[in-house]
């Protein structure tokens, strides 16, 4: 077993999942604005360290994705943030892309940037304690989209990123997110997501990536959020499995889904159904941002009650860890 494979399995095994707390300052400001909290470095730290100090970190969270600001912060508990996370048994990770920018010659679409100087930044993050990384490519669905240009250029960037990350001794999360925005059908989402993921792995193979040391972070297969033809959760699960079976090489140890705008319970229920029907060798777990943090953030914003906020986060983490083993139920959710 390679060292990278060992790290990936440490993050994903036994129903553990990933807490995606890597919102850029811009995105975190939007989240904090929505609950009337001023987006200062102190407030961003205060909310995040409340989650990192929760009991569920030990049993449910295998990895935490951080943003550059957070990995450099020292918590009010007196430890650096990466040290605080490592002590719970979870692996600290870091978002290393520098964001999605307009794609020249297809301006409705995006290309993710961040390759310049990446090797040097990775060295610094490794020294700070990070052992895995994230890079997100983002794609829209439309009549002409995603274009070949967007599919090829983002796959190429994800492969170059992965090569540098593995060279530096860390596990790359490869995140090609096909957005749920729009009127498209679930069938369109299935076709486009399969094409996008396949192209990513074609490029990863050209770039000689050790696939046993990669985590894929895809979207689930859903109808667009403006579609009139939503599909039942059972079909979300079967279509998601169909997509991954035909587009992900067997050597990949695990898949950690993004929540992408699904409600908290919807994201849990769909993950549970995926695992009940998982007839693959892939570990299937969560790497949720909003679906792990939304209720906790709303509660915290009222009076910054640490224990109460942690109770809410602990419940969400526990429900998702049950779902990652196909053991979640509505009764447990409402207990």
Residue 136 interacts with ligand 13P (CB under 6 A): yes or no:
yes
Does 289 engage in binding with ligand 13P (CB under 6 A)?
A: yes
| Active-site option among 175, 177, 269, 333 | 175
217 is known as an active-site residue: yes
CA 75/CA 213 separation, integer angstroms: 30
Q: Which is nearer to ligand 13P, 253 or 289 (CB)?
A: 289
DSSP state of 321: H
The DSSP letter of residue 210 is -
Confirm if 221 and 191 have CB atoms less than 8 A apart. Answer: no
Which one of the spans 156-164, 184-192, 195-203, 256-264 is the region binding ligand 13P (CB under 6 A)?
256-264
Q: Are the C-beta atoms of residues 151 and 140 closer than 8 Å to each other? A: no
Residues 6+ positions from 304 with CB-CB distance below 8 Å? 46
The reply to whether 139 sits near ligand 13P by the rule CB under 6 A is: no
DSSP 8-class letter at 213? G
Q: Does 180 bind ligand 13P (CB under 6 A)?
A: no
331 is annotated as an active-site residue: no
Residue nearer to ligand 13P on the CB measure, 68 or 251: 68
For 141, list phi and psi in degrees, rounded to 5.
-105, 130
Q: How far is the CB of 29 from ligand 13P (least distance, A)?
A: 15
Q: Which stretch binds ligand 13P (CB under 6 A): 104-112, 189-197, 276-284, 289-297?
A: 289-297
Q: Decide whether 288 or 299 has the Cβ nearer to ligand 13P.
A: 288
The sign of the torsion formed by the CA atoms of 43, 44, 49, 54 equals positive
DSSP state of 212: G
Q: Does 260 bind ligand 13P (CB under 6 A)?
A: yes
Catalytic positions are 175, 217
Binding site for ligand 13P (CB under 6 A): 20, 136, 175, 258-260, 288-291
């Amino acid at each position: 077993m390679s060292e990278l494979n060992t790290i990936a399995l440490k993050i994903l095994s036994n129903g553990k999942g990933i807490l995606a707390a890597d919102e850029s300052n811009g995105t975190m400001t939007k989240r904090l604005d929505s609950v009337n909290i001023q987006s200062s470095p102190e407030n961003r730290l205060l909310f995040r360290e409340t989650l990192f100090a929760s009991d569920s970190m030990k049993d449910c969270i295998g990895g935490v994705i951080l943003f550059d600001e957070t990995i450099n912060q020292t918590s009010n508990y007196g430890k650096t943030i990466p040290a605080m996370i490592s002590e719970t048994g979870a692996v600290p990770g870091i978002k290393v892309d520098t964001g999605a920018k307009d794609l020249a010659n297809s301006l409705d679409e995006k290309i993710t940037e961040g390759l310049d100087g990446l090797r040097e930044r990775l060295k610094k993050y490794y020294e700070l304690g990070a052992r895995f990384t994230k890079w997100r490519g983002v794609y829209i669905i439309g009549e002409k989209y995603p274009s070949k240009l967007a599919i090829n250029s983002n796959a190429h960037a994800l492969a170059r990123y992965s090569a540098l990350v593995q060279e530096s001794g860390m596990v790359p999360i490869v995140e090609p997110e096909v957005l749920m925005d729009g009127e498209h059908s679930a069938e369109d989402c299935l076709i486009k997501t399969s094409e996008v993921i396949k192209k990513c792995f074609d490029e990863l193979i050209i770039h000689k990536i050790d696939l046993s040391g990669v985590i894929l972070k895809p979207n689930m297969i859903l109808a667009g959020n403006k579609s009139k033809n939503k599909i039942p959760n059972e079909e979300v699960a079967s279509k998601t499995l169909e997509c991954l079976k035909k587009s992900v090489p067997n050597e990949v140890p695990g898949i950690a889904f993004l929540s992408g705008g699904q409600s908290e319970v919807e994201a849990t229920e769909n993950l549970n159904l995926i695992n009940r029907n998982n007839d693959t060798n892939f570990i299937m777990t969560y790497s949720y941002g909003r679906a792990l943090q939304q209720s906790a953030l709303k509660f915290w914003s009222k009076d910054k009650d640490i224990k109460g906020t942690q109770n809410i986060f602990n419940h969400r983490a526990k429900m998702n860890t049950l779902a990652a083993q196909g053991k979640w139920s509505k009764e447990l959710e409402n207990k």
